[in-house]
Structure 1
Amino acid sequence: MRNFQVMNYSFENLSEKNLSFQQVFDRIAQFMKKDPKGNFRLMVGTDSQVHSTYTRFVTGIVIQREGKGAWACIRKVTIPRQMKNLHEKISYETSLTEEVVSMFTEERKDQLINIVLPHIYKGAAFTIEGHIDIGSQRRNKTRFLVREMMSRIESMGLEPKIKPEAFVASAYANRYTK
């Protein structure tokens, strides 16, 4: 008999715990409705940290109104072993990002787009980005994964971002993997 881990679909931030995805979506929509003329970036990214007996993965969701603040939350997943193979670890990070992004169904994306739609001629915008904790510089040992992981993110209709632009994965989520 196999022992499968039940995936944790609860999200949290510094002020709230045990948020369902619907509650996360509602917070994002509320944030956007405060200033529907804003330039919004919805960003999702995952980072991980290998510990002595487990590997912790943290996926961050950030809605940013450029120049006017952000709302964010995280989702933690723990794998009960050390995941040391770099390709496996980065691929799993990307899968967790894809999984959270897939919760933003076409209907949900349309709801968010419809918040800014009446204001696009006044500078309002909405983009969705997938942040991947990899880099293309020569010194970066993940550079061999850039094309594969960016293709996966693009295939979901997202704008892929890698280091140094992938701050949701490399900075925000990273802070909670320790």
Structure 2
Amino acid sequence: MDTLNNDFQNLSRKNMSFSQVFQYIKQFIEKDPNGCYKLMFGTDSQVHPEYTRFITGIVIHCKTKGAWACIRKVMVPRKMINLHERISLETTLTEEVVSMFSDEKKEQLIDIILPNIYKGASFSIEGHIDIGSGSRNKTKIFVDEMVLRMETLGIEPKIKPDSFVASSYANHFTK
């Protein structure tokens, strides 16, 4: 797996370091400290003939101010056809990016909003998992395991249809 230091990007910036990503998120929140923010993470993968591409999305969303987002791309140089292995690595890559947001970094973000919580400001963190519990969904047998992994990190797990960072945003970049 390639894990470069400057491995985050979005449509307007390439080669961003995690510290640059964190600054963009912080500045986004500082623009409106009264907002309702969700910091969301999720990974999706796509098997290609010679490799498997994993995309982890980071999205900071405010109901009134839109969103700022970026991705991190990881390539595994083989076809990963085992579904459990792929879902597990998707969750691991999400956990890896979530863990970059240390308690100190999370506190920096919360401190921006904290003076305004009585005015309606809020901040939450979600881990979006590209799995579903529907009876026809092949991934339903992994739901409990992957949800527990997100809960262990102290973030709110979301599965389909509520896991749009993984199932829609990240998915867009896996093709």
Distance in 1, matches of 2:94 and 2:87, equals: 11
Instruction: Report the equivalent of 2:8.
Output: 11
TM-score, length basis structure 1: 0.96
Task: Specify every segment of 5 or more residues in structure 2 that has no aligned partner in the other structure, as ranges.
Answer: none
2:35–2:64 CA contact under 8 A, matched in 1: no
User: Structure 1 runs of 4+ off > 3 angstroms?
Assistant: none
Match of 1:75 among 46, 49, 72: 72
Describe the SS at the equivalent of 1:36. coil
Instruction: Report the equivalent of 2:174.
Output: 177
Describe the SS at the equivalent of 1:168. helix
Distance in 1, matches of 2:134 and 2:2, equals: 37
Is 1:31 the counterpart of 2:20? The answer is no
Describe the SS at the equivalent of 1:45. strand
Match of 1:109 among 103, 106, 113: 106
Distance in 2, matches of 1:56 and 1:127, equals: 28
Question: Once superposed, what is the RMSD of the aligned Cα atoms?
Answer: 0.7
Match of 2:57 among 60, 70, 83: 60
What is the CA-CA distance between 1:66 and the residue it aligns to?
1.4
Deviation per CA, 1:88-129: give whole Å up to 9, x if none: 000000000000000000000000000100000000000000
2:9–2:70 CA contact under 8 A, matched in 1: yes
Task: Specify every segment of 5 or more residues in structure 1 that has no aligned partner in the other structure, as ranges.
Answer: none
Aligned length: 174
TM-score, length basis structure 2: 0.98
What is the CA-CA distance between 1:67 and the residue it aligns to?
3.4
